[in-house]
A and B are shown apart, each in its own frame.
Chain A
């Protein structure tokens, strides 16, 4: 007996009880939806973080006082660490041999930038104090005007490089290059605009185009002086990246007088380490969702079994007829098993479709390309088959073993 025939019979049986079938496969839909939805969303976020992190350029790592992602306990512990000072950062800057760039940075959130004609930004602009190398280590590219130079560091000139969003907000109607040379006010001080950054677009974890960079000394003078600095280091080549990390660690431990055998009193992270941290965080989310979905699929499976038992008892006569005209046990078993698996599979496909759509809503919000998690989709299909077989086998076995005489007599 060909499979297409078995499949056709299964579909027609499912169609014969549309409402019942739909209600039954709803459980499967929900279970698969939750797995696929969450896995898609997590992967979208992962992609988002990766693209957001790309502002920390290739072969670049960052050193800071606080860990990037940490629980409360770790954060409280890190609070007792000494700040990374300019002296320490410069010690590293001048001594490191394996790095091409050492960016030093501090920042302050929630500033208002105002043009002299009175146009204001919302009070949400992060202002960064940067040394000249801080711009390339952040992958910030100056499109108009110029970036920060050593001279800006020495002279203490009040100059600023603006993100594109700020330019369009406070210099409306002027092309971006027209902003260069203008003056803006930040925290009551006048700064001359010397450059405009290239547009990056919003990305998760990225700083989009709503930010401004000023020379680090000016920042330290006018903003909070006691802030711990971040150091961003770009290795000379991928091959010596690890060496570069170790050299930076050694230099910073030396200058901060960390006793040998004691752990670092600072955190080093790269894109990779941030992704790893994100992964370890999402691992629990994934595990939790997988567990709950598994339970819901188990419940759905019981529903399938129940409906298949009803279906068998409704179709005793049909089974009798089929047996009388020559259906073997295996034919009947296959027929009902296929029906259960097809039922699960329909639910599975709906769940996969809806789950991928829902999971990609995150992509829509973050303006990241949507994804199709092929591996999870295949997993869901396999899982649905297993559920269909596991919970369909008993009803199918019951049908296959009906006595043909009894079954034919059944009314």
Chain B
């Protein structure tokens, strides 16, 4: 943060973030004063064993949760004190979630699943369909637009989830163990897709405990006991040159 232009490109700024839970009579400190800055178009892997606080951190970054104390600035806006409705709006506009279990609506077809964030964002019929189809095309599933999730393979479902995450052109793509439910070959395909999306200028944060997955990122943040243990660039990057359309 040496000058103004540098500050402008900072997307996420976490300052002394703490999160406490009340578990019965005991107070659990999930995060104990975290400081992180993530710039636009960074590709970050957040790692840590279970119980380290990485899920809590992800929930806070994803605006699903608010810190007990500390300041979270997303895209220049302080979101740490927002109410539920404001957070919902931020999630809708700024965050694209990709989950381990895909989390698609089982009864709806691909198109409707991808449209959903736009529906809640108040984007009207024609424009909505156009954006959704565009997003579906981007993950190479144009010919599957009217299939239900249960008619798709795991890899295809995760692509739908990615298309849904991308459809609002969010500031961050936030993926939680995106390959956890996929075999390694399909997992590689998905990671290849993330690599491409990063190249296209997206900011990607992947939460994982797998080193191989983290190796796709440019920066690795290791969390342990609510603290940042390491925050370092990835030196042994794993790059998959992957043709999305061919694997669709």
Instruction: Give chain A's interface residues, CB within 8 Å of chain B.
Output: 1-2, 5, 12-13, 16, 317-318, 320-331, 404-405, 408
Contacts and interface: CB of A to CB of B under 8 A. Distances in A.
Contact of A326 (B59, B103, B107, B117): B117
A1 B119 contact: yes
A324 B121 CA distance: 12
B103 A328 contact: no
Contact of A408 (B88, B103, B121): B103
The list of the 9 closest CB pairs from A to B, nearest first, reads A326-B92, A326-B120, A328-B88, A325-B117, A321-B103, A328-B85, A326-B91, A327-B120, A404-B64
A325 B99 contact: no
B69 to A, nearest CB: 19
Contact of B92 (A317, A325, A329): A325
Contacts of B93: 326
B119 A5 contact: yes
Contacts of B88: 323, 326-329
Contacts of B168: 326
Contacts of A322: 116, 120
Contacts of A327: 88, 120
Given A317-B103, A328-B84, A408-B99, 16 more contacts: A1-B120, A2-B124, A5-B119, A12-B107, A12-B108, A318-B105, A320-B103, A321-B104, A322-B116, A322-B120, A323-B88, A324-B62, A325-B117, A325-B120, A328-B89, A329-B85
B97 interface: yes
B64 A405 contact: yes
B88 to A, nearest CB: 4
7 contacts: A320-B103, A322-B116, A322-B120, A325-B97, A326-B91, A326-B93, A328-B120
- Most B CB contacts (10 A, CB to CB) among A1, A12, A325 go to A325
A326 B84 contact: no
Contacts of B62: 324
Contact of B105 (A2, A321, A405): A321
B65 interface: yes
Interface string B109-151: 0000000110111101100000000000000000000000000
Contacts of B125: 2
A12 B84 CA distance: 27
Nearest to B108: A12
B219 interface: no
A408 to B, nearest CB: 7
B216 interface: no
A309 to B, nearest CB: 20
Contact of A325 (B59, B107, B108, B164): B164
Contacts of A2: 124-125
Interface in B151-192: 164, 168
A77 B16 CA distance: 95
Given A12-B107, A318-B105, A324 B119 contact: no
A12 B64 CA distance: 27
Given A325-B164, A326-B93, A405-B59, A331 B120 contact: yes
A328 B88 CA distance: 6
B105 A324 contact: no
Nearest to A331: B120
B172 to A, nearest CB: 13
Given A328-B89, A405-B59, A16 B107 contact: yes
B103 to A, nearest CB: 5
A321 B84 CA distance: 15
Contacts of B119: 1, 5
Nearest to A326: B92
Nearest to B124: A2
A322 B89 CA distance: 12
Nearest to A16: B107
A52 B42 CA distance: 88
Contacts of B65: 405
Contact of B84 (A1, A318, A329, A405): A329
Contacts of A320: 103
Contact of B91 (A16, A318, A324): A324
A12 B106 CA distance: 12
A408 B58 CA distance: 13
A321 B106 CA distance: 11
A1 B128 CA distance: 12
A270 B99 CA distance: 79
A50 B182 CA distance: 77
Nearest to B103: A321
A77 to B, nearest CB: 70
Given A1-B119, A405-B64, A326 B89 contact: yes
A328 B89 CA distance: 8
A318 B101 CA distance: 12
A320 to B, nearest CB: 8
B64 A324 contact: yes
A322 B77 CA distance: 23
B148 to A, nearest CB: 12
Contacts of B122: 1
Nearest to A401: B84
Contacts of B85: 328-330
Contacts of A5: 119
Contacts of B84: 328-329
Contacts of A324: 62, 64, 91, 97, 103
